[in-house]
Structure 1
Amino acid sequence: MKVLLVDDHPLILTALKAMIENLVPGVVVNAVSSAKEARFTLRVQQDHDLMLLDLQLGDANGFELLTDVRRTDPELSVVVLSSSDRASDVIQAIDLGAMGFLPKRMTTEDLADALRLVMAGGIYVPTMTVNPMRDADEPPPAPVAAHATGGAGNGDSLPSFEELGVTPRQADVLMLLLQGKSNKDIARRLGLSVETIKDHVQAVLRALGVSSRTQAVLAVGQMTQQRRGRN
């Protein structure tokens, strides 16, 4: 696995690099301290699996860099690191395509657990209340990585469809929804009509108690944390 770590604080950069290398044997961590370095690294090394991005960079706004990366490299998974844990920042990051949001104020143990989760392909967001914000028919956010194992979860993946309260087919739709696929793309992949997919999406959102795709990502992330806490 290859990780790009972007943080303009030297001590945090060094500490996070060491933590990640200890968590996953054989992982390669490229640590850079600016948006300029991050863009250059991604341009010359196009085989990164995960980007850990600080929002407060000296030469750029982290949200701007996140937007650029999702546009130029949509297959790269991005997780935001921030000293903020405001709900508005979490929602904006997820809405822009981040697959997780890790507050820096987390304890070392909790941060390590969160890093293990996202490096295994799961979704991590801090505990927060998910309120209706948008229409359920809104365009999907940029792709968000998620484990999909036939609708069933494992120790570090998403909850099973039984835990989510959806049918196996709705779980298939949810996995593709979390990856940022449009209703048309989901319909083509599953061999169903767009109208049928719309019905499934509405059923998934009702089961999760949310009203938009972004909120679905947040809700599933929090359910994943709760599930891991019980294991």
Structure 2
Amino acid sequence: MKVLLIDDHPLILAALQSVIQGLGDHVKVTAADSGRTAREALVNDPQHQLVLLDLQLGDADGFDLLVEFRTRYPALPIVVISASDRPSDVIRAIDLGAMGFVPKRASNETLFEALQQVLSGGVYVPPMNMGEAGFGADGMSGVQGQAVQAGYQTAPSLADLSLTPRQTDVLNLLLKGQPNKLIARELGLSVETVKDHVAAVLRALGVNSRTQAVIAVSQILRRQGGVVDPMMALR
């Protein structure tokens, strides 16, 4: 497996490379200290299977680079590694197509867990305060809103959402970042039917967007203290 690390701090690059090598002897790591060298690396070797991207680069804005790479290489998973852990940055990164967001203050074990989750097809987001993420108790409905209002005294499970099997399938693919057209193709449904299922899932979670759904599911599972991979919990 080929991994591209993009960060303009040599010490951070070295530390990340050490963690990535822990994924196995089959891992080959390429380091890029700028947006320019990252572009060249992907052009010269399009076989990279994972990108770790810092948001603060000397010659490029990380969000702009994220959009550029997601457009050019739509099948390439990108995980943002950032000194910021602001919910607004997490939401923006996931909205723009990142498959994960890991604060640099996170432990090596957390980074390793995040990468394993992304490589297995899931989306990783760090623990966040739901209110700070833009959908606190006052603006939520359903079991997630009830849990926030109760201070997570009785955190709901995904089973409490009472999703139908087909809605669960849609949520499964939604958590992989699949657009409605691809969900429809994979499940053999019309796009309009998928839209209806997505709307039902968002209502059940008490959120207003796909990104909020990803974050809400992740937070539900963390509050349970069990599995933090939404993909595993939905199987």
Distance of aligned partners of 1:124 and 1:3 in 2 relative to their CA distance in 1, 3 Å threshold: same
Distance 1:73 1:229 in 2: 27
Q: What does the per-residue CA deviation read over 1:169-208, in whole Å, with 9 as the maximum and x for residues that have no partner?
A: 1122123333444434433432223332222111211222
- 2:226 alignment partner in structure 1: 227
Q: What does the per-residue CA deviation read over 1:136-187, in whole Å, with 9 as the maximum and x for residues that have no partner?
A: xxxxxxxxxxxxxxxxxxxxxxxx9747642221122123333444434433
Distance 2:213 2:228 in 1: 20
- 2:73 alignment partner in structure 1: 73
Distance of aligned partners of 1:197 and 1:111 in 2 relative to their CA distance in 1, 3 Å threshold: closer
- 1:119 alignment partner in structure 2: 119
Larger Rg: 2
- The amino acid that maps onto 1:228 is V
Secondary structure of the residue that 1:23 maps to in structure 2? coil
Is 2:185 aligned against 1:178? no
8 Å CA contact retained: 2:81, 2:103: yes
8 Å CA contact retained: 1:124, 1:222: no
- The amino acid that maps onto 2:190 is S
- 1:197 alignment partner in structure 2: 194
Q: Which runs of 4+ in 1 moved over 6 A?
A: none
Matches within 5 A, 1:15-34: 15-34=15-34
* Structure 1 unaligned regions, length at least 5: 134-159
- 1:166 alignment partner in structure 2: 163
Matches within 5 A, 1:101-180: 101-128=101-128, 129=130, 130-132=133-135, 162=159, 165-180=162-177
8 Å CA contact retained: 1:132, 1:212: no
Distance 1:75 1:59 in 2: 25
Provide the TM-score with structure 1 as the length reference: 0.78
Matches within 5 A, 1:38-117: 38-117=38-117
1:68 CA displacement: 0.3
Q: What does the per-residue CA deviation read over 1:114-154, in whole Å, with 9 as the maximum and x for residues that have no partner?
A: 33333333221111214349xxxxxxxxxxxxxxxxxxxxx
Q: How many residues align?
A: 205
- The amino acid that maps onto 2:97 is G
1:221 CA displacement: 3.4
Distance 2:162 2:70 in 1: 30
Distance 1:221 1:97 in 2: 17
Distance 1:163 1:7 in 2: 41
8 Å CA contact retained: 1:55, 1:81: yes
